[in-house]
Amino acid sequence: MKHLKRVLFFILGIFISAIIIFSCNKTTPDKPDVPDDEEPVDTAGLADIFAQLDFFNAEKVTGEVAVNTGNTSLKKSFEDTLNLFEGLQMPFKFLHEDTMLNVEGVFISYDDSPFYYDVPELQESKSNDTVSVFTMSFKPVAGNLPAVFKITVTPYTKSKKPVAQFKTHVNVKRPGDIDINGFCGLLLDFNEEWDWELSYIPNENGLIDFINYPLKVWGEEGQIIKGSCCGKSPIQISMYGICPGADSANRSLHFNTFFGYPYEHFFFYENGDFDRQTAQIAGKPDLNNSNWCTQYAKTDTSISLVNYLGDWSVTTRSIPAGMRVKYSTREYLSLVTTQSDGGLGYGNPGGFIHILDCGGNLWLIQPDLEGGNQHLYKYYRRKSFNEEYWHIIDS
């Protein structure tokens, strides 16, 4: 079953890359200043910085990480620098086309570090045997953020055997001023799009109450549906429902149902229009062609590509109580859908623009619609249609 879903999501990925939409205003993602030299870093200072790394789920382990110098077919979703944001969980991924190298966790360390982090992949991505998803954040600090620093990342398999090891620069950012219509604003070049990568609701304990991302499969456990086998062998009739004269169904079947949202893309236009495209994938029970007598459950897989059109606007609003940010007012992106060609009702009303920078990062905070503290954090990345998403790991 998981192989079928993997193939379907892969096909969708190919389909996504073929979409060409025209927009406005050219922007170019910037890259952080990465030092060219390899001078030793102050170990004591780096230890303090390293302690500020934060994860949804990780174990702090005393000792050193085993060295792995072998080359593998693994690829990573970032190039030479892993960009983090203060107080925000940033997603990063590994592609392992060889299913024998299914990455189930990573060790995060630095040179001569007395401890390391053992970070398991997100539980929801375990069903995907080609892509593993992780998140990492940097705890809020007073004063200036640290300069670019280096960590060592060691992906491992189910037995915690390292399958690769590489060093990467880490650059930490925090929210800054926003220019909606500027060079690094919402408007993009004709060959670019805002590509959704992560949504989550954090709680007061630093954990998550909800998470969603393009590779997540919902309802993967399937469902049990009751039906009936009527009559006696060799003349039996299968039916969804109750046999004539009976007061209840007499059989149950397990159906491999599921659903997910493999992608969401946004295009904003200078005239205030927006174009939103989503993919919705679902496994639906085929009750008419299932057989409760022979215990045969048939599930059909449907893929819906849905277009939404609407109006976008930005106004300045006061921050609701309980939202953990360092400003009292912020630009709010309102999205009003005026037209769609179907879909399952997956809405997106916008949110406060927490991050919008020249690095191609857009973070929205959708306030709790019921007035509580269940604020939804949504991350989008500016991406060119011809951009290479996966990068070779250099050991």
| pTM of the shown model | 0.84
Q: In what order do the strands lie in the sheet with 115-120?
A: 59-62, 115-120, 105-109, 149-156, 166-173, 81-85
Give me the pLDDT at residue 365, please.
97
What residue type is 299 in one-letter code?
A: T
> What stretches in the chain show pLDDT beneath 50?
1-11, 13-41, 126
pLDDT at 128: 62
Residues in contact with 208: Cβ distance below 8 Å, sequence separation at least 6, in sequence order: 56, 200, 201, 202
Residue 235: how many CB atoms within 10 A of its CB?
A: 7
**Whole-angstrom distance, CA of residue 129 vs CA of residue 88:** 26
- Confidence at residue 76, expressed as pLDDT on a 0 to 100 scale: 94
389, 376, 333, 367: which is closest to 187 by C-alpha? 333
pLDDT score for 127: 55
Strand partners, 239: 228
> How far is Cα 378 from Cα 362, in angstroms, rounded to an integer?
8
Residue 119: its pLDDT value, please? 97
